[in-house]
Structure 1
Amino acid sequence: MDDGFGEEQDKATGSDVLHTDQLDAKTTSEKDTRARDAEMVQRGENKGGDGESASNDAGSSATAVPFAFVVSYVCQHWRNVALSMPSLWTTIVVTPEERPPYERISTLLERSKNHPIDITINYGDLVHFNVPSSEIPFAMLIPHIHRWRTIKVTVSEYYPMYMFLGAVSDPSVSAAPQLTTLELHFCEDPEDDPDLFLYPNMGKHFTLFAGSAPLLTRIVLWGVHVDWDQPWIASASNLTDLELAYHAEDVRPSWAQFSTILRGASALQKLTLRQSGPCSWSIEPTPGDPADINAPIQLVRVTHFILAFYTQGCPIHLLRNLYLPALKHLTLNCYSDIGEDFGDLIRELTRPASPVQEQPRSLASHLESLKIPPLPMHRDALQRAS
């Protein structure tokens, strides 16, 4: 019989002795609480924990601390909840403010465990921060290349980009089986000669990611010299977004390489070419070339096409060699020489499409938006376009 002595003794001694049924209830409650708290943290991360700017009650804007760190500083309980969720620690941003020994990066790599990680390396102003290229922490991130989901690198000097290309091409480096986005930006001085690659001693052809990144859906290459025959780009069947920009003419892909890339990108939906693209517009077939090397390239899923910083001859050549039945949004930004007439470009948009279509229509007839700068042209060209 329970005379209450045990309960009084527990109170007197300050102990937290619980009966079996109480222990079961407490354990279940704690599990439910942890699950509920984890769900709340996850919701908070999805709503506003990306480290972007946030507005306070006064309406002013302040830079928000990454959500994972905010939660972990609330109290020990929330800290434990945050630390138990590797998905909270998968975004890694590296800027010139980061300095050796890069403890924050090490912490994020450890806490994210085996989850896919998203990496942004932004050294777009190395000179201002006086950061030696050797201090950029590529070496810390390369061992986790099998976990990379997105990698975005921006530099203002080419040597750090060259270091990155070499690091991910080392024979000891594995493939990138989870990589979906690759963005490489070299912010070159606009006054540099666009017709010549200014770093010939850094023009080595690297084989990135052991030649394998099968899940790539987005590739952005700004001013970066790569081997256009590499398997990860020449056979990117899952690619939906391709952007090539600011490549000197001597390092652009040949027409054969360019057409091979596009023909292999059967899922492509957006194509952007800014002062880049092939170095020639057709070739004389030679033994070993595909029989249809000069046939129109069928991009049947492309809905967005951007062509920028060309004379009108380049867009005309491209539009004649591409079959774009699904195109809805076209942007053309061409250079205009004094006295030049752009009527030929407008006529190209309004001529019947490639004969591969059973019922040929002009490219302009099914566009939802067309963006072009003010260009000089004859009235007949405008009347035909309307």
Structure 2
Amino acid sequence: MLSSGIHALPVELLSSIFVLGSEAQYATHNKDSPFLLRPDEDFSLRSGCTASADFQLLVSHVCRHWRQVALRMSCLWTRLHFREPTHILRAEEFLQRVSPNHSLDILVDTVSPEEHIPGINLCREEMNTIFTLITPHVARWRSFHLKVRANECKLIARKALSTCGPAPRLETLQLYHFEDYRTAHNLYIATYRDPVVIFNNVLPSLKNVSLIGVNLPWAHAPYLKQLDALELALHPDNIRPPFDAWDAMLRGSGRLRRLLLHYSGPRAASVPSVSADGGPQKRICVPTLEELSLTDLDPEHLTTMLRTLELPHLATLSMDLPEQDFTAAVRLIASPLSPLPLAALHTLRISALECTQADALAALIRGVVGLRVLELDFSRIGGAKEAICEVFFETVVVRDDAAEANGSENEAMAARRIPVLRQLEEARLLGLQGAKLRELIAFRSGFVSASASCRYAMETALATLPRFLVRWNASRPRRGRDAVLDELVANGKVCVVDVDGDDEEDEEDIDDESVDDDGDSGSAHAGPDTSDSGSADSDD
């Protein structure tokens, strides 16, 4: 009799399981992002991404057969992630198991000297050893993520990357340096050097670049073109790229899909003044750009920069712009001369947006008529909450061509009112009182019922009810603070999105002052901590 146990699995199937298991442990919070590090999460890895290789090691120790299968699979040992001293010895073993034909994915995640615990995490003492191990294999690097939080570590990395030679296979490069300099002298010591050329400027396969607190020789970095994704973060104005280099980066990347700006962008003084009615010929047109993310920017700089852009096919806009007044930028985005195709946006995420004139923000919401996904945190949009709520209860008139063609005598059949955002499929309306959310669901449901019972099929009529979501932590749900919202969740009218691990602390620490006056129980999205007195570095 043939065995039906797990040991009878064909080697091909067992190998596929091993591959799937190893890939799953490296899934990032944003599955579309090639970057492992985030500038807005206290210098941490993207949630869900582990630096360990526990799965590979585990399956290779189950039995002799599994170990033989695993050791023959080069693809299981290509990730060299360094977060602990033990990972250095592990990487030496992995390199012996990887075929020379396989590319390598590398992460070096170090801490500041104050946080350094020998034998537990990595800092200056381990940096030289790591680079001595990995730089001989630079021609095989496929992705390289480096985080340093000390000037001494930066100098080691600076020397290694400027002398290691070309990286012909490198597709993703992320360099992250941010530290608390404490004194002006320390800041000067860390930032007075000119940036250096890295990888001999030979990076023919590069697609994704993330520079967090890191400056490069902008005018002499030819690899900052032909990119798919570009992230610039935590750059003081004096080390940002001048506008001509910024222009060259964007125009030279004919396939750029994602642009993420977090306290960065072109150097303010270098941005040319473009009038509000300036024509497209004066703007940088990036026809391939699909996603734009704006976080913690200066309002005036943002408005000026937006006027220089033309993004005709933008599908996703994310904004996290607290504390300062962004009314001018909001009015520009919502205007007929907007550089963004507002009516064609598919996804709009507003984690925070300070706008002192509610009508400007209301105009923006009315303008995204084709929107399918909306995430809006009412607790972080200044004083515009009530005005925005009213927008969701507004209607617009549409004509029913079918009814008119049939000579309907009933004008109501030929012209009907439907809600704004009629194509909305998913709504994450965070920080909204349960009673108001219930009212909104009833309002939208009424139009769904009316559409279903209409004699004539209207292509523009509301067809489905959006999926409404709130964000709670499943292990510590914030129930009991809004009975109406609790009831909506219990009855399946509202779905609960389990927050990931990086939000758990914020979720638990929210106090009564962060909750709506109306008693909301949906959690407010916690933005980046901008209180760190550190400053971004000026070179790599």
TM-score by length of 2: 0.53
Q: Does 1:124 align with 2:111?
A: yes
Map of 1:343 onto structure 2: 327
Alpha-carbon distance between aligned partners in 2 of 1:197 and 1:224, rounded to the nearest angstrom: 15
Listed one character per residue, the Cα deviations across residues 235-288 of structure 1 (whole Å, up to 9, x for unaligned) are x31x11110000122211111111111111111111011111111364679xxx
Q: Does 1:228 align with 2:221?
A: no
Listed one character per residue, the Cα deviations across residues 128-161 of structure 1 (whole Å, up to 9, x for unaligned) are 3245514221111001000001111122213313
Alpha-carbon distance between aligned partners in 1 of 2:108 and 2:358, rounded to the nearest angstrom: 50
Q: Does 1:216 align with 2:209?
A: no
Alpha-carbon distance between aligned partners in 1 of 2:329 and 2:236, rounded to the nearest angstrom: 24
Listed one character per residue, the Cα deviations across residues 264-314 of structure 1 (whole Å, up to 9, x for unaligned) are 1111111011111111364679xxxxxxxx931111111111111123212
Alpha-carbon distance between aligned partners in 1 of 2:354 and 2:123, rounded to the nearest angstrom: 45
Alpha-carbon distance between aligned partners in 2 of 1:276 and 1:379, rounded to the nearest angstrom: 27
Map of 2:149 onto structure 1: 156
Paired residue secondary structure (1:326): coil
Map of 2:518 onto structure 1: none
Judging changes above 3 Å, is the alpha-carbon distance between structure 1 residues 344 and 190 closer, same or farther for their aligned structure 2 residues? Answer: farther
* Structure 2 contact 296–322 (Cα < 8 Å) conserved: yes
User: What aligned pairs does 1:26-65 form with structure 2 within 5 A after superposition?
Assistant: 36-37=10-11, 39-50=12-23, 52=25
Residue 174 of structure 1, aligned match among 165, 178, 194: 165
Q: Which amino acid aligns with 2:25?
A: E
Judging changes above 3 Å, is the alpha-carbon distance between structure 1 residues 204 and 64 closer, same or farther for their aligned structure 2 residues? Answer: closer
Alpha-carbon distance between aligned partners in 2 of 1:47 and 1:132, rounded to the nearest angstrom: 32
Paired residue secondary structure (2:86): coil
Residue 62 of structure 2, aligned match among 66, 69, 74: 74
Listed one character per residue, the Cα deviations across residues 311-345 of structure 1 (whole Å, up to 9, x for unaligned) are 321221121111101112212333544xx5x4322
Map of 2:131 onto structure 1: 138
Alpha-carbon distance between aligned partners in 2 of 1:72 and 1:378, rounded to the nearest angstrom: 61
Residue 200 of structure 1, aligned match among 191, 202, 216: 191
* Structure 1 contact 311–335 (Cα < 8 Å) conserved: no
Map of 1:290 onto structure 2: none
Alpha-carbon distance between aligned partners in 2 of 1:158 and 1:298, rounded to the nearest angstrom: 38
Alpha-carbon distance between aligned partners in 1 of 2:315 and 2:195, rounded to the nearest angstrom: 36
Q: Does 1:306 align with 2:293?
A: yes
Q: Which amino acid aligns with 1:98?
A: T
Alpha-carbon distance between aligned partners in 1 of 2:359 and 2:272, rounded to the nearest angstrom: 35
Structure 2: where are the runs of 5+ without partners?
1-6, 28-49, 274-280, 367-540
Judging changes above 3 Å, is the alpha-carbon distance between structure 1 residues 128 and 283 closer, same or farther for their aligned structure 2 residues? Answer: closer
TM-score by length of 1: 0.73
Alpha-carbon distance between aligned partners in 1 of 2:90 and 2:362, rounded to the nearest angstrom: 62
Listed one character per residue, the Cα deviations across residues 358-383 of structure 1 (whole Å, up to 9, x for unaligned) are xxx86322223333424233355345
Judging changes above 3 Å, is the alpha-carbon distance between structure 1 residues 41 and 192 closer, same or farther for their aligned structure 2 residues? Answer: farther
**CA offset at residue 87 of structure 1?**
1.4
Map of 1:85 onto structure 2: 73
Q: Which amino acid aligns with 1:269?
A: R
Judging changes above 3 Å, is the alpha-carbon distance between structure 1 residues 208 and 71 closer, same or farther for their aligned structure 2 residues? Answer: same
Map of 1:105 onto structure 2: 91
Map of 1:26 onto structure 2: none
* Structure 2 contact 25–55 (Cα < 8 Å) conserved: no
Alpha-carbon distance between aligned partners in 1 of 2:231 and 2:183, rounded to the nearest angstrom: 21
Judging changes above 3 Å, is the alpha-carbon distance between structure 1 residues 309 and 379 closer, same or farther for their aligned structure 2 residues? Answer: closer
* Structure 1 contact 156–186 (Cα < 8 Å) conserved: yes
Judging changes above 3 Å, is the alpha-carbon distance between structure 1 residues 88 and 306 closer, same or farther for their aligned structure 2 residues? Answer: same
Alpha-carbon distance between aligned partners in 2 of 1:74 and 1:262, rounded to the nearest angstrom: 50
Alpha-carbon distance between aligned partners in 2 of 1:106 and 1:321, rounded to the nearest angstrom: 49
Alpha-carbon distance between aligned partners in 2 of 1:344 and 1:135, rounded to the nearest angstrom: 48
Q: Does 1:272 align with 2:260?
A: yes
Map of 1:375 onto structure 2: 354
Provide the aligned C-alpha RMSD in A: 3.3
Q: Which amino acid aligns with 1:264?
A: G
Paired residue secondary structure (2:91): helix
The percent of aligned pairs where both chains have the same amino acid is 28
Alpha-carbon distance between aligned partners in 1 of 2:62 and 2:96, rounded to the nearest angstrom: 21
Judging changes above 3 Å, is the alpha-carbon distance between structure 1 residues 332 and 70 closer, same or farther for their aligned structure 2 residues? Answer: closer
Alpha-carbon distance between aligned partners in 2 of 1:324 and 1:269, rounded to the nearest angstrom: 11
Alpha-carbon distance between aligned partners in 2 of 1:230 and 1:35, rounded to the nearest angstrom: 54
Judging changes above 3 Å, is the alpha-carbon distance between structure 1 residues 140 and 73 closer, same or farther for their aligned structure 2 residues? Answer: same
Listed one character per residue, the Cα deviations across residues 191-222 of structure 1 (whole Å, up to 9, x for unaligned) are 888xx776124x33211111111111211111
* Structure 1 contact 197–250 (Cα < 8 Å) conserved: no
Which fold has the larger relative contact order, with Cα–Cα distance below 8 Å and residues 6 or more apart in sequence? 2
Q: Does 1:365 align with 2:354?
A: no
Q: Which amino acid aligns with 1:185?
A: Y
Paired residue secondary structure (1:233): coil
Judging changes above 3 Å, is the alpha-carbon distance between structure 1 residues 121 and 133 closer, same or farther for their aligned structure 2 residues? Answer: same
* Structure 2 contact 319–353 (Cα < 8 Å) conserved: no
Map of 1:10 onto structure 2: none
Q: Which amino acid aligns with 2:83?
A: T
Structure 1: where are the runs of 5+ without partners?
1-32, 55-61, 286-293, 355-360
Judging changes above 3 Å, is the alpha-carbon distance between structure 1 residues 333 and 67 closer, same or farther for their aligned structure 2 residues? Answer: closer
